[in-house]
Amino acid sequence: MSSSWWYGVALFPLVAVTTLLSDFGSRTFVLVSSSGGDPNVATGIASFVLAVVSFWGGIFVALVVFGCLLADIRTLGDDEHWSPSLVWNLGGLAHLGAAVSSPLLIISIPTLTYYLYRRRGRSAPGQSAI
């Protein structure tokens, strides 16, 4: 069965990057804002913008990954080689949560990596998916 939804699922590492950038921006903003003495306003503004943009960007990418995962699972539902269970959606939900809480990356990254590993070779007959 031909499906290219897995391309959207393959974006999942971007959520890890945006989550780490958001954490870094937040910590830097708090550090600059609470430091004694003359605060560096430019650093404070840049870290605030980094935190906000990376946070919302991560949520957007996580939503895309989750939607593509749902569509891919539905498309592969009748595949004779591998028909993924709807339980895989829990990995997508964990990844969506990881956009807000970085410890969930410990669950979601291995889960989605294994999903793509299992998914390889299912894009079209005779072609490799990854």
At residue 21, the pLDDT reads 94
Neighbouring-strand partners of residue 124: 127
Tell me the pTM: 0.81
At residue 3, the pLDDT reads 76
User: Of 117, 103, 93, which Cα lies nearest the Cα of 6?
Assistant: 117
At residue 102, the pLDDT reads 85
Report yes or no on 38 lying in a domain: yes
3-state secondary structure of 127: strand
User: Of 62, 70, 64, which Cα lies nearest the Cα of 101?
Assistant: 62
Report yes or no on 41 lying in a domain: yes
Find out whether 111 and 97 touch, Cβ atoms under 8 Å.
no
Count of domains in the chain?
A: 1
Report yes or no on 115 lying in a domain: yes
At residue 22, the pLDDT reads 94
Report yes or no on 106 lying in a domain: yes
Structural domain span for residue 107: 6-119
Mean pLDDT per 10-residue section of the chain, whose length is 130 residues? 82 93 93 79 91 96 94 81 81 89 90 89 50
Report yes or no on 125 lying in a domain: no
Report yes or no on 127 lying in a domain: no
